[in-house]
Amino acid sequence: MMLMKRRVVLAGGAALAALAVVRPSFAAGTGNIFVSTEKGNEVVVLDKSYNIIKRIATSKRPRDMQMTRAHDLLYVACGDDDSIDVIDVAKLEVIDSIPTGPSPEMFRLSDDETAVYVSDEENSTVEKIDIKSKIATQTIASGAEPEGILIMPGGKIVFATSEVADMVHIIDTDVGAVIKNILVGTRPRRFIYLPRLNEVWVSCELSSEIFILDAKTYEIKGDSLIIIPPGFKEEDVTPVGMAVTRDDSKVLLSLGRANHIAVIDSKSHSVLQFVLTGKRPWSVDLSADETIAIVANGLSDDITIIDMTSMQPVQSLPIGRIPHTVVIDD
């Protein structure tokens, strides 16, 4: 497959946001914020006032996290101990651990939350692991160093990225095999799904691109996007984490070495705002009421809190060594 011609999207008049003093409110609920730290071997918990209330010791190198729909359990992929730890959200402690293949990086819970699909980075496989029995029921070969995982509604189709093969793999879970490979940019990392637009967005870190796929035909739609803040070069942009609003109107894109989050209009692909963060923003999560976004900054060991109404950063807070993923429990 030939790559599409790339389209560079610049600021388009959007101003860089300066640090603000606005303090956004949380939706009803605990408001607790969970941040995994790769080198700290812990999940740091902050309350809704951004005070650290606990550091939960985990297995080594905690990375991706996902909370159950009931918000009672938080699953944490621990890459150096080949496991997924299970945290009781009420007790704020690890209560179980699920063995995986070598170096789990990203995972997603199945629709019924009885299984996890895990990208095993060193084994070049995607595993489906039954949570109750802790047994792998499917082991699916992928390209080298798989990372991003996306389960489509209904659970029949799973998307996975291969960082080395520069591909997106389309997996049919009924047969437990890859049914299509899509060549994208260099080092594809993460996905977001926009159901109203019938699109899957893929971040490609080393080619500075976002590829947009048709969620039904799995074909690349249009040109890839490159989002460059003013004053930076294309090679400074290393996109990884993304988040999307519930109405699919806005995509938040972490720009890595460019030290900004871009807020993008999902239809026009214009940049609504570039928001200053710490060094190498990695992942981003939105609060339930979408009034705030919280960004994990991997090289400055902190998180940045963003007021989504003004699209300005509120403050950055030190967290621990190499924060990876943020999950807001609200």
Q: pLDDT per residue over 98-155, tens digit each?
A: 999 999 989 999 999 999 999 998 889 999 999 999 999 999 999 999 999 999 999 9
Residue 9 binned pLDDT confidence (cut-offs 50, 70, 90): low
With a cut of 90, say whether residue 330 has pLDDT above it. Answer: no
Q: What is the pLDDT of residue 4?
A: 38
CATH of the domain at 37: 2.130.10.10
Residue 30 binned pLDDT confidence (cut-offs 50, 70, 90): confident
Q: What is the pLDDT of residue 234?
A: 96
Residue 17 binned pLDDT confidence (cut-offs 50, 70, 90): very low
**Does 23 map to a domain?**
yes
Residue 6 binned pLDDT confidence (cut-offs 50, 70, 90): low
Residue 185 binned pLDDT confidence (cut-offs 50, 70, 90): very high
The pTM assigned to this predicted structure is 0.92
Question: Residues of the chain with pLDDT > 70: what percent?
Answer: 91
With a cut of 90, say whether residue 12 has pLDDT above it. Answer: no
**Does 152 map to a domain?**
no
In this predicted model, what pLDDT tens digit does every residue of 37-61 receive, in sequence order?
999 999 999 999 999 999 999 999 9
With a cut of 50, say whether residue 300 has pLDDT above it. Answer: yes
**Does 114 map to a domain?**
no
Residue 309 binned pLDDT confidence (cut-offs 50, 70, 90): very high
With a cut of 90, say whether residue 258 has pLDDT above it. Answer: yes
Range of the domain at 313: 6-99+184-329
> Averaged over 12-25, what is the pLDDT?
42
With a cut of 50, say whether residue 13 has pLDDT above it. Answer: no
Average pLDDT value for the chain: 92
With a cut of 90, say whether residue 277 has pLDDT above it. Answer: yes
Residue 319 binned pLDDT confidence (cut-offs 50, 70, 90): very high
> Averaged over 217-228, what is the pLDDT?
97
Between 10 and 49, name the one with better pLDDT.
49
Q: What is the pLDDT of residue 7?
A: 53
**Does 82 map to a domain?**
yes
Q: What is the pLDDT of residue 97?
A: 98
**Does 122 map to a domain?**
no
Residue 20 binned pLDDT confidence (cut-offs 50, 70, 90): very low
**Does 314 map to a domain?**
yes
Q: How many domains does the chain have?
A: 1
The answer to whether residues 277 and 251 touch, using CB atoms and an 8 Å cutoff, is no
**Does 72 map to a domain?**
yes
**Does 235 map to a domain?**
yes
